[in-house]
Amino acid sequence: MENIFVWGLNFKTAPIEQRELLACSCEETYFLLPVIKTIPGVREVMLLSTCNRVEVYAVAEGYEPVNRLVIELLQLKGIDLRIRKHSFFFEGLQAVAHAFRVASGLDSMVVGESQIVHQFKNAYKIAKDVGTTGKVLNRLYEKALRTAKRVRTETGISRNAVSVSFVAVELAKKIFGNLVKSKVLLVGAGEMAELAAKYLKKLQAHLFITNRTYEKAVELARSLEGHVLRFEELSEHLYNFDIVVVSTASKEYLIRSEEVRKAMKRRSYKPMFFIDISVPRNVDPLINNLDEVFLYNIDDLQEVAEKNMQERIKEKEKGEIIVWDEVSKFSKWLELLSVEDLIVRLKEEWKEVELREPMVKRLIHRVVEEVRREPSISDRLFKIFLQEVEDAHSRRKLSHVHNRAHGA
């Protein structure tokens, strides 16, 4: 029987140095999914890649196909197979529960953050676009969204919901105190960057935005009444900024140690703070060795996030109850899925008899109803059905013999 599996790395199992190796852009995901789907025994597959996790959701015939899938993925990414020591693996209902937790924000670094549901939707959309989902993952996705909605509406976990971007800005606030006089440069104009910009705007920081696509930077700056810096002028003007928040999909360092060294000299070594919430990282970690330069990456934000956790722990427990309630319902659907073929075969094999004998038709209807209500007893019900049919035939044969004898 096919089963559901989840394999991956997340902020609980692997540091950013490992996660960034496996991180996949949308373009990569479109390329990778059809390739790993061709592995024998793999029926369906979806790939979720965010700043805190890279996870593969698969429906497969067993553990071995999934193991080959993981090896193939790592080889395509050019990653040493030893990275698996930083990974996690779930199967069956544990895998289903994990998917529901992820979509609900219960497994996020900032518990209850809402951004993950959009990332989960996007991961599914890509898999759907390239044709690597099927009946099981389609259903898993629908139920994951249902669970996420229930967790948001039936608990207080999303009250005053925050995100990684919010935590980054909170850290900047903690470092500088009042941000009103601070000059902040936002590198990137994607969703996470936009969230950070909105928080910064509320704190009345002097906001500057740069992006490889100039038009995107202009659009975001206009909506937030900020200023635009051309991307190619980033190095030249870096010295002007107190705080630099970086959030892009680039796979290389956009801010290098030598550039920061020159900027510090020009600003007379006045402290400068970098917050890099990109995965892979976009700021050279060597800048931490420079005097009066402070760099925080996505993993450094976890300490801030954990303080938030204490206030949400009770709501998280309520969320867990909802998750397992939905897992139980999904489990029943999986059981039913496993007997659907048997039901189809039963109807097909007894089709002609059913047309001739109303009693058999009634028996089949009752069996199918009971199996759909409780799939776990399908084997017993099918045996009872066969025994009932056999007994009925025996009774008819005896009746026929008796009637002939009587007539003689």
Instruction: Give the residue numbers marked as catalytic.
Output: 51
Cα Rg of the chain (Å, integer) = 29
Sign of the C-alpha dihedral computed for residues 30, 34, 35 and 37 taken in this order: positive
129 contact partners, CB below 8 Å, separation of at least 6: 30
Tokens standing for 174?
């903690």
Sign of the C-alpha dihedral computed for residues 350, 355, 356 and 361 taken in this order: positive
Long-range contacts of the stretch 22-30 (C-beta < 8 A, 24+) = 22/49, 22/54, 22/74, 22/77, 22/79, 22/83, 23/49, 23/54, 23/279, 23/280, 24/49, 24/54, 24/77, 25/49, 25/249, 25/251, 26/122, 26/126, 29/123, 29/126, 30/126, 30/129, 30/130
Tokens standing for 194?
């936009």
- Edge to edge, the sheet with strand 183-187 lists 227-228, 206-210, 183-187, 243-246, 272-276, 293-297
What DSSP element (H or E) covers 337? helix 302-349
